[in-house]
Structure 1
Amino acid sequence: MTTPMSAATADPRGGVARQSNRVMNLAHILTQNARRFPDRAGFIWGERTWTWGEIDAAVSAFAAALSAKGVGKGDRILVHSKNCDEMFFSMWATFRIGAVWVPTNFRLMPAEVAELAHFAGAKAFLCHGDFPAHAEAVASQMGDRLAFTMRLGHGAFGDCAAADLIAEHGGTKTPNASVDYDDPCWFFFTSGTTGRSKAAVLTHGQMAFVITNHLCDLTPGTTEADASLVVAPLSHGAGVHQLGQAARAVPTILLPTERFDIDEAYRLIAKHKVSNIFTVPTILKMLAEHPAVDAHDHSSLRYIIYAGAPMYREDQKTALKKLGKVLVQYFGLGEVTGNITVLPPALHDPDDGPHVKIGTCGFERTGMQVSIQDDDGRELEPFETGEICVIGPAVFAGYYDQPEANAKAFRNGWFRTGDLGHMDTEGFVYITGRASDMYISGGSNIYPREIEEKILTHPAIAECAVVGVPDPLWGEIGFAVCVARPGMAIDEGTIAEHLAEKVAKYKMPKRFLFWDELPKSGYGKVPKRMVKDELERRGLLPGAATQKASA
């Protein structure tokens, strides 16, 4: 984690010293919206609508309550919650007092959240009413180091309830704390290849650039007349997306429950004339393939932004044919707050042809620079495969309290993404896969994504994941885990025959397994480590006592 610059910084050109690197507190976005659009809807959840004036007032009261309980600038506030109004308000209230918002994945177990509380040095814990065991675990772990536990929503635990404190401090005008560019505002938890969480430090100055960049590259032309539907947890990418939407006074609309109800999502799109959605490829695939896509009016959609993983070409085609040219792909990690590349709607085409750049995740985001580098940090030539590295204002300040991780993550000023890929002569980037996903079989590097794309061209395959597993002869061999489309039969021999003319023999997976579903993370991704864990659990790894084609 970088340290803030001093208040007086010498001008290297010999001019007048810069006295401050103060920037706008992100909570000023609410101040602006309350001034300009006090009566316009800013947040919609179920049958309840909050105007921007009401949101700003609630956030001021929330911030006053936090301050009254001893939370101040730089303190970390751990938040474990499903999407709800008070979670959304907690982010702005935290920013307003200059504290650090530390949201978790609400699907984590109590012991995991307690570990994150300890790691982040949380001073306060805001916990949704559905998670009393998490509140107990955090309180036990933190002891006197935790000032209080505040309950969000209904429940019967905690030292206080957010609703009560907001009411108690109603009418309080809490000013936005003064902040500098490098002052942290958000600890964004990101998992490494081992699954162990790290806290990427996001700052007020960095996030101001990210908001501007998102509006520029992902949803250009956005105004208060638009509307945004949330179909993912606000604790991560969806929360960053909503910050950008709030900067243009766009109302945020939540699904009524945490369950992803596709028919309800389309009903809300039609009712509120939703113009943009942030999601991940697996959820976009579900939206495009569900019968509800033909039952509701979704003509208001202008941008469906998908990120978190590349989208397979066959799934892209289906989505484009059903939803139109509204897809926006971006590539970016939590550490770069999503800002590496973008592929706008105009470059998404449902038909293959020489004019279509199949497999690209787009070109460099505005203000960002990408470099494909070898293991020594040397920039590679076009079409040479190496590690995707990036510099620019969207790069995070570093991992909190993890100097060794920071040393590995940066080289010569470049952030190393850990993703492998290449760049063509026009600057379009192509992701081969995670460095950790690549496996070596018989001395040859195998990139799973290339094989997965070919498998998915078979009409009976809905999803697949290729992983490398240990083998005494070859070092590693490939296992392809597939999910068949409903009502369609497929077997190992058929898919192997389909693939035989599409990939080199040395790349051919040695096994094809068929499961009802692939394991997914809380954000809809299919981490390869989860697939490997499931293979081991089912006894399907080489050398295991049992090897069945399905379980």
Structure 2
Amino acid sequence: MSMTAPKGGTAPCSVRVMNLANFLTQSARRHGAEIGLVWGEKTWSWAEIEARVHAMAYALSTEFGVAKGDRVLVQSANCNQMLESMFACFRLGAVWVPTNYRQSPTEVAYLAKASGARGMICGAAFAGHAAECRAAAPDIGFVLSIGASDFGEAYDAVVQRHLGQTIRAADVDRDDPCWFFFTSGTTGRPKAAVLTHGQMAFVVNNHLCDLMPGTGPGDASIVVAPLSHGAGIHQLMQVAHGAKTVLPPGEKLDVETVWQLIERWKVTNAFTVPTILKMLVEHPSVERFDHSSLRYVIYAGAPMYRADQKRALATLGPVLVQYFGLGEVTGNITVLPPAYHRAEDGPEARLGTCGYERTGMQVEIQDGQGNEVSPGRTGEICVIGPAVFAGYYDNPEANAKAFRNGWFLTGDLGHMDEEGFLYITGRASDMYISGGSNIYPREIEEKILTHPDISEVAVLGMPDPVWGEVGVAVCVARAGVDAHAIDLKAWLGDKIARYKLPKQVVFWEEMPKSAYGKISKKLIREELARRGDLADGETVQSA
């Protein structure tokens, strides 16, 4: 492995830890006959999942030569094989390298090359991805196909051939890599954050402690996001405590089906992002199915606008849990549990906070020189603790920029109050300077989303010959509302300082989103240029 340790100092001593594959083995021992996984109309018991993982791990080792430290690329929509491949790689001490299946063949080929993948497991629908990965990454010695295809042997056929075979879990140390968690690449090429066995064991304990206390074999979790990223980490918690995982059928989000499955399987927890949670609670089917089993609806990836919070609380009750984190810290920075999600405004609601420090983690707001700033002052959010990743794979330059005095620099701006509650102002890259004043889009977006007729918004700083930069608000009106009738600038007049008012307001029918379901300002900038919506004029409406 070629990875520059970013934290400096003497080389750490080797510390043996549990192989993460043992989470599955433990649940199979205790709950073998119980259902561990649901996908559509199919179910698998914990014992069946464990047997299939053993079979695939045995095949990867004996047939395809995968050894400890080798990387296995996985390009697939959510399915049982994807979850199995995670534990098969862990069992061998190999590194699971999942992609977001919505990425293009060229994007995935870059990940194959950048990770030094030894082999590939690929959904049958992604023949083009398999071909481009083979061409770009000559170290790929095999490709297995999930489903029938012309580009590789069928995954399930390999499993069937080796059912009954077992293989001992590899010995692993705390810092041995288990997962390459690729960043979304919003500011350049994606980077592989190296997650390790010791780090992820802490993350599992931390998630169970801070996000979903009391989760156990009687619980069920529904997956509404790709297993390649946060949802995959979330499912590790379920496996560790014997809670079943429910995968909706189909690649696209079908909101009605999600609510049907929540009722049918008495789902108790879900991991999602604010945009998806908004879709779930605004769909009429939420009223037709029983969702009273839900105890924790966890959202992350971006702060949730206050108007959307209120609607979710009114619809689902006091079940919302927010956490703030990045892939590099596997989500473990802050938590805002249900008790702090208040439907009524006021001091106790702590409007705008993303919570307080996660158990075992420390957060500090620092200035550009690495000094801690006083409560209430804006600076960069920095973090230390066992959930921080080992560094970026084969990228010493990125590692040097990401760490300072042992602190991981998140690139997010925010401030902390006297009681330790964190408030995110926005990404450092989102801030713009207009007429010499620093302007933070997040503050303006929060105000705009209190307008009853606006559903989504993004505020961006765009070049201006007079002011240097000015704000442009791209909005989506609520269904059935005529955007022409919304005079947003007049409505904002007494709500924010005049210098913060967006110079231009643009209405679109829908907002560009990343492959992870987040509103992407990079895509919005590109779309603004493509549409030519930055012409002179106060308000622009385009399809």
1:457 matched to 2:450: yes
8 Å Cα contact 2:6-2:400 kept in structure 1: no
8 Å Cα contact 2:322-2:335 kept in structure 1: yes
Q: CA deviation at 1:195?
A: 3.8
Matches within 5 A, 1:61-460: 61-68=55-62, 69-143=64-138, 145-152=139-146, 154-460=147-453
Post-superposition CA distance 1:93-130 (Å, at most 9, x none): 00000000000110111111111111110000111111
* Counterpart amino acid of residue 151 in structure 1: S
Task: Out of 159-168 and 488-497, give the one that drifted further.
Answer: 488-497
Q: Secondary structure at the match of 2:191?
A: strand
1:549 matched to 2:524: no
1:28 matched to 2:25: no
Q: Secondary structure at the match of 1:214?
A: helix
RMSD, matched Cα? 1.8
Q: CA deviation at 1:343?
A: 0.1
How far apart, in 1, do the equivalents of 2:501 and 2:540 lie? Answer: 19
How far apart, in 2, do the equivalents of 1:316 and 1:103 lie? Answer: 31
* Counterpart amino acid of residue 112 in structure 1: E
Q: Secondary structure at the match of 1:520?
A: coil
Name the counterpart of 1:488.
481
Task: Out of 95-104 and 489-498, give the one that drifted further.
Answer: 489-498
How far apart, in 2, do the equivalents of 1:491 and 1:374 lie? Answer: 43
Structure 2 segments unaligned to the other structure (5+ residues) = none
How far apart, in 1, do the equivalents of 2:118 and 2:153 lie? Answer: 15
Q: Secondary structure at the match of 1:82?
A: coil
How far apart, in 1, do the equivalents of 2:28 and 2:259 lie? Answer: 29
Name the counterpart of 2:492.
499
Q: CA deviation at 1:541?
A: 3.3
* Counterpart amino acid of residue 530 in structure 2: R
How far apart, in 2, do the equivalents of 1:348 and 1:482 lie? Answer: 26
Q: CA deviation at 1:91?
A: 0.4
Q: Percent identity?
A: 63
Post-superposition CA distance 1:280-316 (Å, at most 9, x none): 0001111111111111100000000000000001100
Q: CA deviation at 1:542?
A: 5.5
Task: Out of 155-164 and 306-315, give the one that drifted further.
Answer: 155-164
Give 1:38's match in structure 2, choosing from 18, 32, 35: 32
* Counterpart amino acid of residue 480 in structure 2: G
How far apart, in 2, do the equivalents of 1:48 and 1:114 lie? Answer: 32
Q: Secondary structure at the match of 1:111?
A: helix
Distance of aligned partners of 1:9 and 1:107 in 2 relative to their CA distance in 1, 3 Å threshold = closer
* Counterpart amino acid of residue 126 in structure 1: I
Q: Secondary structure at the match of 1:355?
A: helix
Name the counterpart of 2:525.
532
Comparing both chains, which one has the higher relative contact order based on Cα–Cα distances under 8 Å and sequence gaps of 6 or more? 2
How far apart, in 2, do the equivalents of 1:481 and 1:377 lie? Answer: 35
Post-superposition CA distance 1:186-213 (Å, at most 9, x none): 0000034424200000000000000000
Q: CA deviation at 1:244?
A: 0.9
Number of equivalent positions = 538
Distance of aligned partners of 1:195 and 1:527 in 2 relative to their CA distance in 1, 3 Å threshold = farther
Q: CA deviation at 1:173?
A: 1.0
* Counterpart amino acid of residue 198 in structure 2: G
Q: Secondary structure at the match of 2:151?
A: coil
How far apart, in 1, do the equivalents of 2:353 and 2:252 lie? Answer: 32
8 Å Cα contact 1:4-1:180 kept in structure 2: no
8 Å Cα contact 2:6-2:390 kept in structure 1: no
